[in-house]
């Protein structure tokens, strides 16, 4: 299928499942990602689009020039009620659409002179602290990052109050990707319960699924077979590497490093299409880590900003690459960058792509016996833990330990006193998956 227009511009809205596609689409011909909706012809929306995110989508679509079009990429059984209300005439595609097919869809869809969505977003005024409470009674600048912004995977609003060029205080607003996953799991039956669990983090469905399966196995007092452990860990390692490369594309965009952005997209494309074996990819990523460590300009841009103390992270039960950056490095943005690349190179020595369907457990685990149990898996952003409680015929309670959710409370302390010009880069360095954080 050919493109209807050359270099058609699209604006991407990531409800929580579009990080990988964002990296892959950037390298495909015929389309180009627009910097803002006023330059775009097509709005591409990745689910979930919740009712709380819908007003922002409405505002963006209204800002687009006519003629225009909208495409909603569905994410399984997750809620899309907001997208249906705001973009009733949008074209819809399945969640499993490949990036080249989506690029053809963007390039070939028909543009229309349609009406604006019925809803309008009205931002609430931001309360400012009194001047008497500050050393210098200067005027504070209020800046809103998000909820639709390219520095996290999924929607998050960060309100910054800045005193000149310095961040005075920060307010974090999440919940735009909330799907009430725990309640859905309590009502679900087999096999829907496993599919829902895999959707905890749309960017890490294997790690989410394995954590839940292990909880069910522990509840049934079944020991995990050694062969299953090896297969599961190999699949999770592969998933972690894909996430690192998807994040690296986002991070390179934040730091305005076009060459690094293209390199991350190329490596991710090689992984997905298996054009190179794991050993060769590990070597390439290891060489990239060395190159980045020796990049003097990048080090100057990313060092000594957004520092996180290892004691604070352990107290908040935060692990994964963020903790590694604080234990093996200085805990700044540069240390987190190097920690992720090194972990990806190490993971590729044992990683193996596996279809998630092959990890589905036997139905004999359901219904679970009375009691409670916990299962864990090391996902791309840290440990994912699922705790399930059963009454003998259904789940009474499902609780998740979510790495991104653990990171949200440390953002205000991390940004306090930082330069405004560094705030977006610091935020990008955390690799937040907001669908997982909001669940």
pLDDT score at 125: 58
Task: Report the candidate in 324, 354, 352 with the shortest Cα–Cα distance to residue 339.
Answer: 324
pLDDT score at 357: 75
In angstroms, the first-to-last Cα distance of the chain is: 37
Cα 240 vs. chain centroid, distance in angstroms?
Answer: 12
Question: Average model confidence (pLDDT) for the chain?
Answer: 87
- pLDDT tens by residue, 63-117: 999 999 999 997 444 445 566 777 888 888 887 888 899 999 999 999 999 888 7
Per-residue pLDDT band at 376 (split at 50, 70, 90): very high
Percent of the chain at pLDDT above 90?
A: 52
- Contacts of residue 89, defined as CB under 8 A and 6 or more positions apart, other chains included, come to 70, 112, 114
pLDDT score at 86: 79
pLDDT score at 128: 58
Higher pLDDT, 206 or 281: 206
pLDDT at residue 410 above 60? yes
pLDDT score at 96: 80
pLDDT score at 373: 95
Question: Average pLDDT of 135-146?
Answer: 75
Per-residue pLDDT band at 35 (split at 50, 70, 90): confident
pLDDT at residue 6 above 70? no
- pLDDT tens by residue, 384-394: 999 999 998 88
Question: Average pLDDT of 248-267?
Answer: 91
Q: Specify which residues 372 forms β-bridges with.
A: 389
Higher pLDDT, 352 or 212: 212
pLDDT score at 226: 81
Which tokens belong to 33? 């990602």
pLDDT score at 344: 92
Question: Average pLDDT of 323-350?
Answer: 93
Higher pLDDT, 289 or 191: 289
Choice among 209-213, 216-220, 225-229 with the minimum mean pLDDT:
225-229
- Report yes or no: 40 and 9 within 8 Å, Cβ to Cβ: yes
Question: Highest mean pLDDT: which of 131-145, 342-356, 369-383?
Answer: 369-383
pLDDT score at 189: 86
Per-residue pLDDT band at 260 (split at 50, 70, 90): very high
Distance (Å, whole) CA 336 – CA 328? 10
Question: Average pLDDT of 388-408?
Answer: 92
Task: Report the candidate in 427, 422, 426, 429 with the shortest Cα–Cα distance to residue 166.
Answer: 422
Question: Average pLDDT of 265-283?
Answer: 81
Kindly list the structural domains of the chain, giving each domain's residue range(s) and its CATH number in brackets, ordered by start. 8-108 (3.40.50.12280), 131-172 (no CATH), 173-439 (1.10.645.10)
pLDDT score at 5: 46
pLDDT score at 393: 85
- Decide: helix, strand or coil at residue 386: strand
Task: Report the candidate in 333, 263, 328 with the shortest Cα–Cα distance to residue 301.
Answer: 333
pLDDT at residue 272 above 90? no
């Amino acid at each position: 299928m050919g493109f209807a227009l050359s270099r058609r511009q699209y604006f991407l809205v990531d409800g929580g499942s579009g990080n990988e596609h964002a990296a892959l689409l950037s390298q495909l011909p015929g389309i180009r990602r627009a910097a803002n909706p006023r330059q775009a012809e097509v709005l591409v929306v990745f689910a979930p689009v919740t009712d709380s995110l819908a007003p922002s989508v409405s505002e963006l679509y209204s800002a687009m020039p006519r003629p225009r079009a909208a495409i909603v990429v569905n994410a399984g059984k997750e809620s899309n009620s907001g997208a249906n209300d705001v973009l009733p005439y949008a074209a819809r595609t399945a969640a499993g659409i490949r990036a080249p097919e989506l690029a053809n869809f963007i390039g070939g869809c028909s543009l229309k002179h349609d009406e604006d969505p019925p809803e309008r977003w009205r931002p609430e005024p931001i309360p400012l602290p009194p001047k008497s409470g500050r050393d210098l009674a200067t005027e504070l600048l209020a800046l809103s990052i998000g909820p639709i912004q390219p520095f996290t995977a999924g929607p998050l609003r960060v309100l910054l109050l800045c005193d000149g060029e310095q961040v005075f205080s920060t307010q974090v607003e999440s919940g735009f990707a909330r799907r009430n996953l725990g309640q859905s799991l309590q009502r679900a039956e087999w096999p829907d319960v496993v599919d829902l669990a895999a959707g905890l983090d749309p960017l890490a469905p294997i790690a989410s699924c394995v954590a839940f399966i292990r909880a069910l196995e522990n509840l049934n007092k079944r020991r995990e077979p050694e062969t299953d452990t090896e297969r599961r860990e190999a699949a999770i390692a592969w998933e972690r590497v894909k996430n690192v490369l998807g994040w690296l594309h986002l991070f390179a965009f934040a730091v305005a490093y076009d060459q690094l952005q293209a390199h991350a997209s190329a490596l991710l494309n090689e992984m997905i299409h298996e054009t190179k074996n794991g050993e060769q990819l590990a070597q390439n990523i290891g060489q990239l880590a060395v190159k980045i460590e020796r990049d003097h300009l990048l080090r100057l841009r990313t060092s000594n900003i957004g520092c996180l103390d290892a004691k604070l992270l352990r107290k908040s039960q935060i692990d994964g690459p963020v903790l590694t950056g604080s234990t093996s490095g200085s805990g700044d943005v540069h240390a987190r960058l190097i920690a992720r690349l090194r972990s990806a190179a190490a993971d590729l020595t044992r990683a193996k792509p596996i279809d998630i369907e092959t990890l589905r457990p036997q139905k004999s685990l359901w219904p679970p016996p009375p009691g409670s149990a916990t299962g864990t898996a090391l996902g791309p952003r840290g440990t994912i833990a699922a705790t399930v409680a059963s009454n003998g015929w259904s789940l009474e309670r499902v609780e998740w330990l979510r790495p991104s959710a653990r990171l949200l409370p440390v953002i205000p302390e991390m940004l306090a006193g930082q330069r405004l010009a560094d705030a977006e880069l610091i935020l990008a360095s955390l690799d937040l998956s907001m669908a997982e954080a909001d669940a």
